[in-house]
Amino acid sequence: MAEPGTALSYDWNTEGGPHPAQVPAVTFDDETLRDGLQSPSVAHPAVAERLQFLELAAAVGITAADVGLPGAGARAAREAEAVCRGLLAARLPIVPNCAARARREDLEPILEIAQRIGHPVEAAIFLGSSPLRCRVEGWSLGDLLARTEESVAFAVAHGAPVTFVAEDTTRSHPEDLRRLFLTAIRAGATRLCLADTAGQADPFGAVRLVRFARGVVHDAGAAGVGLDWHGHNDRGLAVANALAAAWAGAGRLHATALGVGERVGNAAMEQLLVNARLLGWAQPNLRGLMAYVRQASAMVGVAIPPSAPVAGRDAFRTSTGVHASAILKAGRQGDDELVDLVYSAIPAAWLGRQQEIEVGPMSGAANVRWWLAAHGYADDARAVATVLATAKVADRILDDDEIRVLVEAAIGSPTQ
């Protein structure tokens, strides 16, 4: 055990095993404007809202974004083109990509957008690869291989960078995937995306799958082909799986703001960015993260849950006496880092936030003393006793106005 004062904490995440910080730099592909909009509970945002969102995404360090599926129809194609034009006009450092089924009818609108705006648009070509998908669609492996080769080669021949997405990768047979990946690479794909389409994976499976895909890329002599991870949250493991995939060698992670998406959603981008910063895999500008999340919430009409990690109202907020006492003691030492970490794994200051202490039924005297100091009142035993007596019989936390009335009834106005 380290002597007191030599370190603020011991990190079991990194000691005694492979150090996660050895992972090469990780980048992020924002799927909010495509996969996120497939949630049945979201609103359909205007192009101006999408561009404002992407401006905030760029500000935090996101470098790629899926801006739609133009093959879904004329409206989808118009909106995707408008977003691509807006990105170029604003000179945002975000590379646009569009999703496409493995067929020319989906690829042609993407190629036409690229031609009209005078800038390449990455095509993320997806094709169901699992036995389940093949059974439902009536596809054979031969069908998959032919469609992969034809669609990837067609897009590449017309100047589009291609990411080949093996939809439902996490439920596909290794040898089928090997043949599909090799076909896509030979046809010119520059990235392979491993998709946990139904949220089947756990972190151990994510590691095994990424290592397998890395082996295929290595055996093909295609060192320049990148690996993406795209995961859904059906088992509540999307963030953990994405981090495990990065640890195993996936260089670009797909996610959505607040985790919005099909069914129960995708990996939450804000959580991935904070974890990547903690792990030393990326240096996002987290000061802009709350603006990014709030814009997403307003844009798609999804409230931020109070308990949401990183972004929720309660992420750095407590009304518990034991916690408040520790935070108050840390504050008396004049160490902001100590205040931030004594009851939090994430420094609130990274996000431009701070620890918040409320007063309620689970509170102690430390909660009231913190409130008094924060609002300019003297630390008075009568005020502490008065407020605490009311809080202990309340059925919720007390708001500032309620506490102010109690304090001033006991000791008068705040000190000047």
Q: Which domains does the chain have, with CATH numbers?
A: 21-300 (3.20.20.70), 317-411 (no CATH)
Separation of alpha carbons 359 and 320, rounded Å: 8
Q: What is the pLDDT of residues 348-359, one digit of tens each?
A: 999 999 999 999
pLDDT band at 4 (very low <50, low <70, confident <90, very high): very low
Residue 385, phi then psi, degrees to nearest 5: -65, -40
Which helix (H) or strand (E) segment holds residue 234: the answer is none
Nearest CA-CA partner of 301 in 96, 31, 46, 35: 46
CA atoms within 13 A on the CB side of 344: 26
Lowest mean pLDDT among 283-292, 302-311, 328-337: 328-337
Bridge pairing between strands 226-231 and 162-167: unpaired
Calculate mean pLDDT across residues 88-110.
98
Q: Which residue is it, tokens 């039924």?
A: 361
Separation of alpha carbons 225 and 376, rounded Å: 59
pLDDT band at 3 (very low <50, low <70, confident <90, very high): very low
Q: What is the pLDDT of residues 135-147, one digit of tens each?
A: 999 999 999 999 9
Nearest CA-CA partner of 299 in 42, 76, 17: 42
pLDDT band at 19 (very low <50, low <70, confident <90, very high): low
pLDDT for 21 equals 55
Distances from the Cα of 336 to the Cα of 76, 180, 312, angstroms: 48, 53, 21
Separation of alpha carbons 65 and 28, rounded Å: 8
- Beta bridge partner(s), residue 96: 65
pLDDT for 316 equals 96
Asked if pLDDT for residue 18 goes beyond 60, the answer is no
Separation of alpha carbons 246 and 28, rounded Å: 11
Distances from the Cα of 286 to the Cα of 58, 118, 278, 282, angstroms: 11, 33, 11, 11
**207: CB partners within 8 A, 6+ apart:** 244, 245, 247, 248
- Beta bridge partner(s), residue 359: 398
CB-CB neighbours of 326 under 10 Å: 17
C-beta of residue 337 within 8 angstroms of C-beta of residue 8: yes
Separation of alpha carbons 204 and 225, rounded Å: 23
C-beta of residue 367 within 8 angstroms of C-beta of residue 323: no
In this prediction, what percent of the chain has a pLDDT beyond 70? 96
Asked if pLDDT for residue 1 goes beyond 60, the answer is no
Lowest mean pLDDT among 10-19, 222-231, 338-347, 355-364: 10-19
**147: CB partners within 8 A, 6+ apart:** 102, 103, 127
Asked if pLDDT for residue 209 goes beyond 50, the answer is yes
Q: pTM here?
A: 0.94
pLDDT for 177 equals 98
Q: What is the pLDDT of residues 25-71, one digit of tens each?
A: 899 999 999 999 999 999 999 999 999 999 999 999 999 999 999 99
pLDDT for 16 equals 59
Separation of alpha carbons 296 and 401, rounded Å: 31
Nearest CA-CA partner of 313 in 407, 397, 403, 241: 397
Span between the terminal Cα atoms of the chain, in Å: 47
**390: CB partners within 8 A, 6+ apart:** 398, 402, 406
- Beta bridge partner(s), residue 230: 195
pLDDT for 415 equals 55
Asked if pLDDT for residue 17 goes beyond 70, the answer is no
